[in-house]
């Protein structure tokens, strides 16, 4: 049996076009729902290239903002972003956050929980660093069908090529999120589904972006040029896109919030 390819985040610029745009789309609705108090301090766990960090900086005027991610490439992109001057970016992992107990007012995982090897430990870590009464929140694509590039993953898997999925993908489901939030002792737990849409100018643009993602990059070794061409043709037909016409994809994320007990 072939080994499952690992999803790696090694290109902050490519990530921006591939997923950063999507993350901010969900993030806008997420923040409308979260209604966080302005001017408080945040930890953005798995901040990546700063796609959601930038939205936080713009929308909630944080008094402090710590972005944590294990990927040097993502952090490098985040540090060079404009609009995130309030943020400090540090290398680290969700299961061992580089932050003291009760040191922030809010913590968030934006499109991250499915990548955390032990999601329960990751949620407990957010609860540890957030002060009593503070917010612990997350959103994640409802894996697999909610993921925006699900159509490409399906085409790969249907050809018997190695499945490429985040290690803890089950944690993206609403029941699992709720379980983790309650088991971490968080109170007032609420969840919701967020659906977003993104329009690409034509299929070629969508396909080119699809190929740059960490998932396709992980599967690259198994994808010969012929197979790529075959998959592209199949998808074009399946998605029903006319030559040169725009195409709109929709995607579905699950969101959750709770408070650290006082």
Ligand X SMILES: C[S@@+](CC[C@H](N)C(=O)[O-])C[C@H]1O[C@@H](n2cnc3c(N)ncnc32)[C@H](O)[C@@H]1O
The answer to the question of residue 74 lying near ligand X (CB under 6 A) is yes
Site size for ligand X, by CB under 6 A?
21
Q: Which is nearer to ligand X, 99 or 232 (CB)?
A: 99
- Contact of 37 with 57, CB cutoff 8 Å: no
Helix axes 225-238, 150-157, angle to 10 degrees: 130
The answer to the question of residue 54 lying near ligand X (CB under 6 A) is no
Instruction: For residue 190, give the H/E element and its range.
Output: strand 187-200
Q: Look at residue 21 and give its three-state secondary structure.
A: helix
Task: Compute the least distance from the CB of residue 168 to ligand X, in Å.
Answer: 9
Q: Out of 47, 113, 241, 255, name the contact with ligand X by CB under 6 A.
A: 47
**Following DSSP, what letter does each residue of 49-107 receive, concatenated?**
TSHHHHHHHHHH--SEEEEEES-HHHHHHHHH-TT-TTEEEEE-BTTB-SS-TT-EEEE
x-or-dash pattern for ligand X, window 8-27, by CB under 6 A? -x---------xx--x----
Q: Out of 71, 168, 176, 254, name the contact with ligand X by CB under 6 A.
A: 71
Calpha distance 8→1 (Å, rounded): 21
Q: Which is nearer to ligand X, 9 or 149 (CB)?
A: 9
Task: Compute the least distance from the CB of residue 95 to ligand X, in Å.
Answer: 6
The answer to the question of residue 164 lying near ligand X (CB under 6 A) is no
∠11-97-147 over CA atoms, to 5°? 45
Task: Compute the least distance from the CB of residue 7 to ligand X, in Å.
Answer: 8
Residues whose CB is less than 8 angstroms from the CB of residue 44 and which lie 6 or more positions away in sequence, other chains included: 52, 53, 56, 65, 66, 67, 68, 87, 107, 108, 110
158 phi/psi in degrees, rounded to 5: -70, -15
Applying CB under 6 A, which part among 30-38, 110-118, 181-189, 195-203 lies near ligand X? 110-118
Residue nearest to ligand X (CB): 48
Q: Which residues bind ligand X (CB under 6 A)?
A: 9, 19-20, 23, 45-48, 51-52, 69-71, 74, 93-94, 110-112, 115-116
């Amino acid at each position: 049996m072939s080994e499952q390819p690992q999803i790696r985040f090694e290109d902050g610029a490519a990530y921006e076009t591939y997923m950063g745009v999507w993350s901010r789309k969900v993030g806008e609705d997420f923040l409308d729902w979260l209604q966080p108090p302005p001017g408080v301090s945040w930890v953005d766990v798995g901040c990546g290239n700063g796609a959601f960090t930038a939205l936080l900086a713009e929308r909630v005027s944080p008094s402090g903002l710590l972005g944590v991610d294990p990927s040097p490439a993502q952090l490098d992109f985040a540090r060079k972003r404009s609009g995130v001057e309030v943020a400090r970016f540090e290398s680290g992992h969700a299961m061992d956050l580089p932050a003291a107990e009760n040191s922030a007012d809010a913590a968030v995982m934006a499109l991250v929980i499915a990548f955390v090897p032990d999601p329960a430990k990751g949620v407990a870590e957010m609860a540890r660093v957030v002060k009593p009464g503070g917010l612990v929140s997350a959103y994640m694509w409802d894996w697999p069908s909610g993921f925006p590039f699900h159509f490409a993953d399906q085409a790969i898997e249907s050809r018997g090529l190695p499945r490429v999925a985040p290690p803890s993908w089950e944690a993206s489901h609403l029941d699992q999120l709720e379980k983790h939030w309650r088991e971490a002792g968080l109170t007032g737990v609420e969840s919701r589904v967020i659906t977003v849409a993104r329009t690409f100018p034509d299929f070629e643009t969508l396909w080119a972006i699809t190929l740059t993602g960490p998932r396709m990059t992980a599967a690259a070794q198994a994808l010969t040029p012929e197979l790529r061409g075959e998959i592209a043709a199949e998808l074009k037909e399946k998605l029903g896109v006319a030559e040169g016409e725009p195409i709109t994809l929709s995607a579905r994320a699950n969101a959750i919030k709770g408070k650290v007990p006082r």
